[in-house]
A and B are shown apart, each in its own frame.
Chain A
């Protein structure tokens, strides 16, 4: 009995050591490929930066922009010059390529089960796509939230922050659902949950705005009803101005 247990343990340890021994070269190959591509990316990004600086890329781009244009492409690269953005994009493309090559090298050196690579490579692509969706979604959410907040404040809406938060979370929820769907996580559960959550947010917003502006709506309906029935309004009595009356207020002109 004891010998059998000892034998079983020894065999399992042996199997684990074998797995680790075959796994480590793959990990080292992955890391090596990643480091090499990091270095290549660093060199390429420096080269791109130098070339674009020599070509005065930023100045050329700026000179093509109209001084009065309200929206410029460069607005999206906050506090970064287009040259820096281009060099960073080059660097990150190299990093992504390094990860892909690393996984492939991992597969080549890992002979125990080649199914890992078949599973990992497409999943890595999906993961990258999901991360990109999340980044784009969060950027869009922030942009839209700010747009709504500023627009609502300038329109003197008291619930400006609430509107802004609503828009932000709508976009974030949508983004999260899209990312999970992209990763094939959750399946129908995510879709269902998203539908319920999204519908809930929309219903909440509708109720909030509807209840908040109930008086406004009723006044508007009353006004349209008055117009439809063409009810005669009592004539306003015009009284001559006296000296004690305050002078008419001057009209404001901003421009």
Chain B
């Protein structure tokens, strides 16, 4: 018996199958999710300067009035909604970039999320060439900031990324990024799912994602550029959202960082600077110390749920120090952060409460750090390295507590 074909091209009743939408193929795509109509022309000018005569696909939320001014650039609308948290890249940004890379078969995608600072053509070129010319999958800018800037990054984000994911990336929460096609492909499903759940504003940690996938990550100098300032939200809310997001990511990737692996070779640590005379605490530092003292007097009940007795004893001793001698040792800070990460994982108490109770401890660390670096870059480099090394050496602490959390409980 002859079988009937399911489709018959000669049949006049059947509608022709629509051909798949073909998008132009571009070697490089650039996403400009947050650029306004006023800032866009100068950005396009910088892109044209960076890639002369090269066909570049630009995805922008606004289109310029005269697109023909830039004949080498192909402009497409950027459809992904931009989140309110627009000072760093979020899931919706990565989802849009990954979709663009998949649709246009691009080899590299640059995501430029800061519309405030002017685009630097040489840096754009380095970002793109880094992805296209090498086997690197993720490139992030490295800012040259003063000792009093990006303190949360120095205290938490950098040391945790380095200790747990083996990625020596100074700014793991980027505002600009360059990703390869396979990195985009990896990010696509998870970010699309978040966007479809209306959670596009979720902070994503691309360095950890790349580490899990075994992709290589690099950073390039951003020159004198500065990272954008966060929105005028209060510090406590911002700190809770960033630290909470990082802890959740660490929780989700526990099986990866708990495995022992060789740490990559690092350049020699900066030499220890000569000790300084006791420094006078500035008003900022005094305010932070006062906040810590207030917490030490009031938050003992909550800290006792999270911190083991030896850490609380160390904090008690710290609270008795004079402001001019206020020093939190890096290993104490590392253990405190690890204890809070574990409490976040175990849901020892409400997570908002947990992160709120951690804020004064961060301020204590910041006061100690600011007092020790005394606004000198050489001392800051040494302190940052010491802090990151402490997180690496205390990694066994979190691994053992993660596996046997009750062992240290009082």
A67/B151 in contact, CB under 8 A = no
A160/B356 in contact, CB under 8 A = no
A146/B347 in contact, CB under 8 A = no
CB distance from A150 to the nearest CB of B (A): 4
A250-B239 in contact given A78-B350, A153-B299, A255-B152 (Cβ < 8 Å): no
List residues of chain B with CB within 8 A of the CB of A74. 347
Is B248's CB within 8 Å of the partner chain A? yes
CB distance from B200 to the nearest CB of A (A): 10
Is A1's CB within 8 Å of the partner chain B? no
Is B381's CB within 8 Å of the partner chain A? no
CB distance from A146 to the nearest CB of B (A): 5
A149 to B284, CA, bound (A): 23
A78/B284 in contact, CB under 8 A = no
Which stretch of B51-59, B213-221, B229-237, B255-263 is in the interface?
B229-237
CB distance from A164 to the nearest CB of B (A): 8
A150-B356 in contact given A156-B290, A255-B152 (Cβ < 8 Å): yes
List A residues 2-39 near B (Cβ within 8 Å): none
Query: Which range contains the number of B residues in contact with the other chain?
Result: 35 or more
B151/A254 in contact, CB under 8 A = yes
A255/B229 in contact, CB under 8 A = yes
A160/B294 in contact, CB under 8 A = yes
B350/A146 in contact, CB under 8 A = yes
List residues of chain A with CB within 8 A of the CB of B199. 66, 68-69
Is A72's CB within 8 Å of the partner chain B? yes
A255 to B287, CA, bound (A): 18
- Nearest residue, chain A, Cβ from B359: A154
A67/B245 in contact, CB under 8 A = yes
A160/B298 in contact, CB under 8 A = yes
Q: Is the interface of A mostly helix, strand, loop or mixed?
A: loop
B153/A70 in contact, CB under 8 A = no
A68/B241 in contact, CB under 8 A = yes
- Nearest residue, chain B, Cβ from A152: B298
List residues of chain B with CB within 8 A of the CB of A161. 297-298
CB distance from B329 to the nearest CB of A (A): 21
Is A186's CB within 8 Å of the partner chain B? no
Is A239's CB within 8 Å of the partner chain B? no
CB distance from B370 to the nearest CB of A (A): 8
B294/A66 in contact, CB under 8 A = no
A68/B299 in contact, CB under 8 A = no
A252/B284 in contact, CB under 8 A = yes
A253/B151 in contact, CB under 8 A = yes
List residues of chain B with CB within 8 A of the CB of A249. 282, 284
A170 to B252, CA, bound (A): 39
List residues of chain B with CB within 8 A of the CB of A143. 350
List residues of chain A with CB within 8 A of the CB of B353. 146-147, 150
Is A251's CB within 8 Å of the partner chain B? yes
B350/A253 in contact, CB under 8 A = no
From B230, B239, B295, B375, A153 is in contact (CB under 8 Å) with: B295
A70/B240 in contact, CB under 8 A = yes
Is B203's CB within 8 Å of the partner chain A? yes
CB distance from A223 to the nearest CB of B (A): 22
- Nearest residue, chain A, Cβ from B154: A254
List residues of chain A with CB within 8 A of the CB of B148. 250-253
List residues of chain B with CB within 8 A of the CB of A254. 150-152, 235, 238-239, 366
CB within 8 Å of B: which residues of A?
A: 64, 66-72, 74-79, 143, 146-147, 149-151, 153-154, 156, 158, 160-161, 164, 249-255
Given A68-B244, A79-B347, A253-B148, 4 extra CB contacts under 8 A:
A68-B248, A70-B241, A75-B351, A79-B348
CB within 8 Å of A: which residues of B?
A: 87, 145-153, 194, 197, 199, 201-203, 227, 229-230, 235-236, 238-242, 244-245, 248-249, 251-252, 282, 284, 287, 290-291, 294-295, 297-299, 302, 346-353, 356-357, 359-360, 366, 370, 375
Sorted nearest first, the 5 A-B pairs with minimum C-beta distance are: A150-B356, A68-B245, A68-B202, A67-B248, A66-B199
A-B pairs with beta carbons under 8 Å apart, 23 shown:
A66-B194, A67-B245, A67-B248, A68-B202, A68-B244, A70-B240, A72-B351, A77-B347, A79-B348, A147-B352, A150-B299, A150-B302, A151-B236, A151-B356, A153-B291, A153-B298, A156-B291, A160-B294, A164-B298, A250-B146, A254-B152, A254-B239, A255-B151
